[in-house]
Structure 1
Amino acid sequence: MSGPDALGRHDSWEGVRAVVAGFGSAGFASADNLTHLGAGVTALDESAAGREEEAELLEVLGATIRLGAGATATLPDDVDLVVASPGWEDSPLLAAARERGLPVWGEVELAWRLRDPGTPWLCVTGARDPGRAVLMLAAVLRAAGRRTVPAGAAGLPLVEAVMDPEPYDALAIGLTAAQLRGSGAMAAASAAVLDVGAEPGLGRVYEQVEQACVYQLADPATEDLVREADVVEGARAIGITLGVPGVGMLGVVEDLLVDRAFIADRGSSAAELCSVEDLPDLTPEVVQDALVAAALARAHGVDQVAVRDGLRAFTTRA
């Protein structure tokens, strides 16, 4: 039996004894997929509200489910790995695991280890909800013919998304500060921070980025996070502004969203992406999210027409 550090999505996890802390959507996805991979899984949570059917399903598949008051009071004796749902970082259960020297992975780290290496992660985080920007990004990627799905804080649990039998062309991922604290060696292809606010640790999303770090010109703290990040050589810093963009930025000129970052003649011109009338409304946060989605998609090689069509399709769904 190999240790969990050496295992991925195509390996047998038979003999690995895993505890999953938390039985919300992320915890269920982790427990479900580890069970399917052959691990012996015990899922623990103090609450059973609304999860009874999932618990019964996993028990039929061979997992052990302990829900309710006192379920997380003690860590089982025979454990090789603990997987923590977001928000469990400071729990006594995880403290006990660390005291034993056990590996403790967050949901994001488990998903990263189980991912198909050919599927790039395009990530959005921030003090405010990244959901709309991620849904816009997914719409743009689909308009470009990429098979994708919104995941993480904005859609499918990450572990469920990465374990799809047919790997996606790219994943549009929303991450909270809590998820980033359990992200392990995760390295996004491109990433954006919407705003910093009082949330610590958001700069983690920029670490080891390969293509583009998207920051907000109106929030200098986001640019500071880019400067502090250890990125892959060649990764670009791409600014977003609600005003006229400088070179290397996306922004707004009159009633148009424009690109001065991903075109050959960006020093002297800008490429039209879409009209503000293509967006659900003209509030600053909606325009900002559209620019973030456009920047991440453009960094991934999506053309201008697909950006426009994707944002229009998002408007239709809204």
Structure 2
Amino acid sequence: MTATPERLAALTHRDADWSGLRAVVAGLGISGFAAADALLERGVDVLVVDGTEPGDGSPMAERARILDILGARLSYGPEAVAALPDAPLDLVVTSPGWRPDQPLLVAAAGAGVPVWGEVELAWRMRAREGAAPWLTVTGTNGKTTTVQMLASILRAAGLRATSAGNVGTPLLEAVLHPEPFDVIAVELSSFQLHWSESIAPRASACLNIAPDHVDWHGSLEEYARAKGKVYANTEVACVYNAQDEQTRRLVEEAEVQEGCRAVGFTLGVPGLSEVGLVEDVLADRAFVEERRTSAAELASLEDLTRGGPAPAPHLVANALAAAALARAHGVPAGAVRAGLRDFVPEPHRIAEVGTVRGVRWVDDSKATNPHAARASLAAYEHVVWVAGGLLKGADVDELVRTSVGSLRGVVLIGRDRSAISDALARHAPDVPVVDVDRTDTGAMDQVVREALALAREGDVVLLAPAAASMDMFADYGARGDAFVSAVHRLAAGE
């Protein structure tokens, strides 16, 4: 006999009665392991399934060994993920990468078995009393930077805070940490939001919407709908991009808690209930008592750079969104400034590699889609653009058309470089293009030499590929590392 809907609905905290439930955990990645571990600890009968057999000595094999010791059952291979098990089942907890049309998940839906994502499970595993509020962030681009800025601001306010979710640390680990957090900055992907229903954040933000992961969601409309779920049940403030009309509409359509406000962020002068820029000052007209007539100074552009080059516009937008979320949680203005000053960007996100032979070299390998690359290109006046990789069906025409004015030259790499080359021929026929068809480990050295030949003194050579990396590299980090190493060799005269 399966659990009643009433029993499942009562699973709203870690101390509820989880014992005896029967669950399938779909996927033995980091989040799947965390989900299985948490369920086993509460007496749930757990079957973990994965389409791939763990390789000897692999991290997946180590996770499987631990779960086996803890009492989980494990099943691997195509048959394991093709259908539900024959035994009665109460719940499926899916890893975020599993698409809704995956056969096991389709079978669960058809059988009326609830499917939760690991984020939904994490929300239901919070403490019964005094659980840390969540400040949630989604968007096509800028999520990780915003969440890490937010965590830095929260810590500067003296709060025990962390970032978790899509940012790396599984939310379950943060929620079940033996030393409880005061607040959690949560990065949520569209995949994670798709499988979430009951999350009620203190404040929430959608940074932007651009075509991405349409193959997973089935349509741009479904992708946007998933992103919009970040606003559902928000308590204090729904933070939206005042310069992205789609995010405003998502707020307008959201079902929120009584008293929740809409707060915009803008790179322009802020209007009422907005945060924005007044010359070089990040200003708040949303969380001050006299917001109709005055604003609070939160930070300056210099606070974002600590004396370096002027920050890219999208970095400023991320800072404004993080500030708005922190202010919604009651953080004072001084902590916003201190947190932004303390923030150190992760590698491969608009990272200054250095100046070599009069040319600035910038690594934004994290720009893995056209929307991210467009924001990166817009930050510089004259650019030699290094682009290409796996486009995943993305259209680059708009990216190229809007970037023509800044392009000094283009160096193309990767499997789908011809799509970018064709767009350049249509929209920027006078821009010189070098096609590097090598895929070996030395390809980036040639890329750097070709880029230098196209650049003039004072230009920026920008790695902002607009594409994924797995055709040539293990991930975007490896691609960025290859670029940085090649620039260093160029500087050393090798």
Same fold (TM over 0.5): yes
- The equivalent of 2:48 in structure 1 is 43
How far apart are residue 167 of structure 1 and its match?
2.8
How far apart are residue 317 of structure 1 and its match?
8.0
Note if 1:151 corresponds to 2:169.
no
How far apart are residue 316 of structure 1 and its match?
8.3
How far apart are residue 229 of structure 1 and its match?
1.1
Structure 1 SS opposite 2:286: coil
- The equivalent of 1:5 in structure 2 is 9
Contact 1:30 1:107 in 2 (8 A): yes
How far apart are residue 166 of structure 1 and its match?
3.3
Contact 1:108 1:184 in 2 (8 A): no
How far apart are residue 275 of structure 1 and its match?
1.3
- The equivalent of 1:19 in structure 2 is 24
Structure 1 SS opposite 2:79: coil
Contact 1:123 1:188 in 2 (8 A): yes
After TM superposition, the structure 1 = structure 2 runs for residues 122-271 of structure 1, keeping only pairs within 5 Å, are 122-198=135-211, 199-201=223-225, 202-271=227-296
How far apart are residue 129 of structure 1 and its match?
4.4
2:94 partner amino acid: A
> In structure 1, how many angstroms separate the alpha carbons of the residues matched to 2:96 and 2:345?
32
> In structure 2, how many angstroms separate the alpha carbons of the residues matched to 1:315 and 1:102?
44
2:119 partner amino acid: V
- The equivalent of 1:311 in structure 2 is 340
Identify if the C-alpha distance between structure 1 residues 317 and 224 changes in structure 2 by more than 3 Å, giving closer, same or farther. closer
Contact 2:145 2:345 in 1 (8 A): no
How far apart are residue 200 of structure 1 and its match?
2.2
Note if 1:114 corresponds to 2:125.
yes
Contact 1:278 1:315 in 2 (8 A): no
Note if 1:287 corresponds to 2:312.
no
Contact 2:15 2:127 in 1 (8 A): no
Identify if the C-alpha distance between structure 1 residues 131 and 316 changes in structure 2 by more than 3 Å, giving closer, same or farther. closer
> In structure 1, how many angstroms separate the alpha carbons of the residues matched to 2:24 and 2:345?
43
Name which structure has the greater RCO, CA cutoff 8 Å, separation 6+: 1
Note if 1:104 corresponds to 2:115.
yes
1:91 partner amino acid: Q
Identify if the C-alpha distance between structure 1 residues 116 and 307 changes in structure 2 by more than 3 Å, giving closer, same or farther. same
Structure 1 SS opposite 2:268: coil
- The equivalent of 1:31 in structure 2 is 36
Instruction: List runs of 5+ in structure 1 lacking aligned partners.
Output: none
Please, which of 293, 296, 299 is the counterpart of residue 325 of structure 2? 296
Contact 1:11 1:37 in 2 (8 A): no
> In structure 2, how many angstroms separate the alpha carbons of the residues matched to 1:107 and 1:52?
20
2:44 partner amino acid: A
> In structure 1, how many angstroms separate the alpha carbons of the residues matched to 2:263 and 2:21?
43
How far apart are residue 119 of structure 1 and its match?
1.7
- The equivalent of 1:72 in structure 2 is 81
- The equivalent of 2:68 in structure 1 is 59
Structure 1 SS opposite 2:224: coil
Q: How many pairs were matched up?
A: 318
Structure 2 SS opposite 1:238: strand
Structure 2 SS opposite 1:267: coil
Identify if the C-alpha distance between structure 1 residues 286 and 122 changes in structure 2 by more than 3 Å, giving closer, same or farther. same
CA RMSD of aligned residues (A): 1.9
> In structure 2, how many angstroms separate the alpha carbons of the residues matched to 1:62 and 1:157?
21
How far apart are residue 5 of structure 1 and its match?
3.5
How far apart are residue 12 of structure 1 and its match?
4.7
> In structure 1, how many angstroms separate the alpha carbons of the residues matched to 2:142 and 2:69?
36
Output the TM-score relative to the length of structure 2. Answer: 0.62
How far apart are residue 244 of structure 1 and its match?
1.0
Structure 1 SS opposite 2:67: helix
Identify if the C-alpha distance between structure 1 residues 29 and 262 changes in structure 2 by more than 3 Å, giving closer, same or farther. same
Structure 2 SS opposite 1:51: helix
Structure 1 SS opposite 2:298: strand
Contact 2:51 2:80 in 1 (8 A): yes
Structure 2 SS opposite 1:173: strand
How far apart are residue 176 of structure 1 and its match?
0.8
> In structure 1, how many angstroms separate the alpha carbons of the residues matched to 2:332 and 2:135?
16
> In structure 2, how many angstroms separate the alpha carbons of the residues matched to 1:272 and 1:80?
52
How far apart are residue 228 of structure 1 and its match?
1.1
Structure 1 SS opposite 2:338: helix
Output the TM-score relative to the length of structure 1. Answer: 0.94
CA deviation string 1:201-221 (max 9, x = no partner): 211111111100111111111
1:247 partner amino acid: L
Identify if the C-alpha distance between structure 1 residues 316 and 181 changes in structure 2 by more than 3 Å, giving closer, same or farther. closer
How far apart are residue 162 of structure 1 and its match?
1.4
Contact 1:106 1:184 in 2 (8 A): no
2:125 partner amino acid: L
Contact 2:203 2:237 in 1 (8 A): yes
Structure 2 SS opposite 1:86: coil
